[in-house]
Structure 1
Amino acid sequence: MPTPTITLGVFDSGFGGLTVLRELLPLIPGARYLYLGDTARLPYGSKSRETIARYALSSGRFLLEQGAQHLVVACNTATALALDDLKHDLPIPVTGVIAPGAAAAKAAPGSHVLVLATSATVQSGAYTRALEAQDLTATEKACPLLVPLVEEGWLDNTSETQSVTAEVLRIYLAEAQREAPHATSLLLGCTHYPLLKPLIEATLLTMNYPLQIIDSAQATALAVARTIHTEPTTQISSASFYATDSIEKFQRLGSRFLGHPLPPVELIDLGG
């Protein structure tokens, strides 16, 4: 077998990080990709910082043992609460999802950024700190119902269920418009949310709330690609997938997030 250009480890507490992997695949061809979904221990957001750090470190160490040369933390909660631990503990470069999203917001027009994220990410204040470091104003909006709606697959244009998702999204965005009427861009602060991007764009249009959407999954993939210097290759990338629980569910939902069917997923045990 040809030697891969690099081995990239990507992990999340579940499926959302597959949107980051989806963006990485065309940017770094010929790489070997390792994806770990720590599904037995999700959601990370309801755990203490110490527990999240422990989970993130065990996931990072597992991918390191499998040969990862660069770790991508495709989880907003783990990035917010465990990135420093990972960088200190692991002898490889580590990239999270928050700083790249904030940097992409800096390049967008205007200076006021609306961040849609989970409750745990909003409570951490990580995006506000990262955006303020870029001299930007941040308004973070928790949208706790969006992740379960995405995971239920209630996005299909032909399905009546999309109207439920559209209405929930409209309510969140209407609240955000009252809280941040002068925002100029919208940062997707959860790796599930790229699947909602077309619906978000349509909803903003009907609300006359013209925000430029910034996809943190895409921004993260671009940030990783900029740090990796590989020679041009015609070699096809390979990908291995690991989950800590319910590999059948992971394969079914993961295919939706990645945009094509997943190969067989390996079940692993990382302990408690």
Structure 2
Amino acid sequence: MNKPIGVIDSGVGGLTVVHELMRQLPKEKLIYLGDTKRCPYGPRTPEEIKKFTWEMVDFLLTKDIKMLVIACNTATAYTLTELQNKLSIPVVGVIQPGARAAIKSTVKDYVGIIGTEGTVKSNAYSHALKMLKPNIQSTSLACPLFVPMVEKGILNGPEALETVKQTLSPFLIKEEMDTIILGCTHYPLLKDVIQQVVGPEIILISSSEETARETSTILQVNQLLNINNGLCAHQFYTTGDVGLFTSLTQKIFNSNIENLKSVSIEKVVI
């Protein structure tokens, strides 16, 4: 089926998932929407997160998408089940794929989870890990400074290193922890700095690869794979500043992206 796949995120972090989807599914057209204007979602209330997520979804539904990928951990934690129940198209989030990857990685059965305040409060990752492996231990840590830092384009250097070091200090004393889930799609953009702080012996898990694999499987099972061999004209939308979005995408893709537009998706409640 030659319809596009829709991908949503609170900002630019979901582009790490898009990058992996492009690699694993080169025939598929992607339409990405990043709500950079209202990013971060982490400190938001559950009601706000649900409202904002539905506004993104409603926008992409006008593009006749065949599948939805929620490339935002916070949005996945609070809206995945509801979206799966209410939409007629397949919906995949990033939490279950990330949890599965962590289970495969850990040897000591002790996993650390770093994420936004909203994701950590939801306990979505700890629940997902327990469902897969009941005896596994996990510890979660909110990192509220990471997303704003990434959205500003600060991905390395002294400021990034100091912020990551101070934020992750509670994890540095947990010797039994051998795996850390990067529980926000913005965090892979800080992966080198995070690895430098926690040390080479800790495995860092990004859900991007696993999410792309799950997307591929769902498309195949539902006979939705694109059979067209032509080049895909991906589309990118942001609710915020196009210039900042462009500079960050250059760092992720190592090239300029085309078809980028700024849009307004907010619905006025009377």
The bucket for the TM-score relative to the shorter chain is: 0.7 to 0.9
Q: Which letter does structure 1 place at the counterpart of 2:110?
A: H
Alpha carbons 1:102, 1:131 under 8 Å: kept: yes
Whether the aligned pair in 1 keeps the contact of 2:12 and 2:34 (CA below 8 Å) is: yes
Deviation, structure 1 residue 232: 7.2
Q: Residues of 2 paired with 1:171 and 1:40: CA distance?
A: 27
SS of aligned partner of 2:266: coil
Q: How does 1:42-53 map to 2 (within 5 A)?
A: 42-53=39-50
Give the SS at the match of 2:264: coil
Query: Displacement, 1:22?
Result: 0.7
Asked if 2 retains the 8 angstrom alpha-carbon contact of 1:184 and 1:211, the reply is: yes
Describe the SS at the equivalent of 1:35: strand
TM-score, structure 1 as length reference: 0.87
Partner of residue 246 from structure 1, selected from 238, 241, 247: 241
Decide whether the 8 Å contact of 1:21 with 1:258 is kept in 2: no
Deviations 1:15-42 (A, max 9, x none): 1111110111010111111001122333
SS in 1 for 2:111: strand
Q: How many Å apart are 1:181 and its aligned residue? A: 2.5
Residue identity in the other structure for 1:140: S
Deviations 1:23-74 (A, max 9, x none): 1101011111100112233332233222221221221122122021010001
| 2:255 pairs with one of 255, 260, 264 | 260
Q: Which runs of 5+ in 1 are unaligned?
A: 157-161
Q: With structure 2 as the length reference, what TM-score do the two structures score?
A: 0.88
Q: Which residue of 2 aligns with 1:120?
A: 118
Residue 127 of structure 2 corresponds to which residue in structure 1?
A: 129
Amino acid in structure 2 at the alignment position of 1:227: I
Structure 2: distance between partners of 1:16 and 1:42: 10
User: 1:170 corresponds to which residue?
Assistant: 165
Flag the 1:120–1:259 CA change in 2: closer, same or farther, 3 A.
farther
Rounded to whole Å, the distance in 2 between the matches of 1:113 and 1:271 is 37
Partners of 1:56 and 1:86 within 8 A in 2? no
Query: Partner of 1:224 in structure 2?
Result: 215
Q: Distance in 2 between matches of 1:259 and 1:217?
A: 18
Q: Deviations over 1:210-263 (max 9, x none)?
A: 211211122212221222224776432221011223233322333333442121
Partner of 2:4: 7
Unaligned runs of 5+ in 2: none
Aligned to 1:199: 193
Measure, in 2, the Cα distance between the counterparts of 1:55 and 1:89: 16
Query: 8 Å contact 2:49–2:78 — kept in the other structure?
Result: yes
Contact 2:16–2:185 under 8 Å retained in 1: yes
Instruction: Describe the SS at the equivalent of 1:194.
Output: helix
